[in-house]
């Protein structure tokens, strides 16, 4: 189908349907666009990343009861 025939068909539609076609074309165009995010290099230091990873690994455990006390230790590193 060429552009002229497409335009003719769209023009035969009621105004509300023409608006729907326009919105649909916008939707299709937005789906076909590739979003390119900027590449961020060295955003985290090793220490910052380690702290974040530990925080994420332990999240949700703050409210859990402690299973062991210092009295349960056989050996204590000082």
Tell me, what's the pLDDT at 42? 66
In-domain check, residue 12 = yes
Among residues 13, 35, 37, 34, the alpha carbon closest in space to that of 24 is found at: 13
Number of domains in the chain: 1
**Domain with 11 in it:** 1-30
Q: Mind listing the pLDDT tens digit for each residue in 19-38? A: 999 999 888 888 877 766 77
Tell me, what's the pLDDT at 1? 64
In-domain check, residue 23 = yes
In-domain check, residue 47 = no
Please provide residue 42's backbone torsions phi and psi, each rounded to the nearest 5 degrees.
55, 45
In-domain check, residue 6 = yes
Q: Determine the Cα–Cα distance for residues 20 and 2; give it in Å rounded to an integer.
A: 20
In-domain check, residue 17 = yes
Query: Which residue ranges in the chain fall short of pLDDT 50?
Result: none
In-domain check, residue 24 = yes
Cβ(70)–Cβ(76) below 8 Å:
yes
In-domain check, residue 58 = no
Tell me, what's the pLDDT at 53? 92
Cβ(44)–Cβ(52) below 8 Å:
yes
């Amino acid at each position: 189908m060429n552009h002229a025939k497409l335009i003719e068909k769209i023009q035969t539609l009621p105004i509300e349907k023409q608006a729907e076609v326009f919105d649909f074309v916008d939707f299709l165009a937005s789906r076909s666009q590739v979003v390119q995010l900027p590449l961020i290099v060295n955003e985290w230091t090793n220490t910052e990343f380690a702290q974040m990873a530990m925080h994420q690994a332990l999240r949700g455990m703050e409210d859990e009861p402690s299973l062991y006390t210092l009295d349960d230790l056989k050996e204590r590193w000082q």
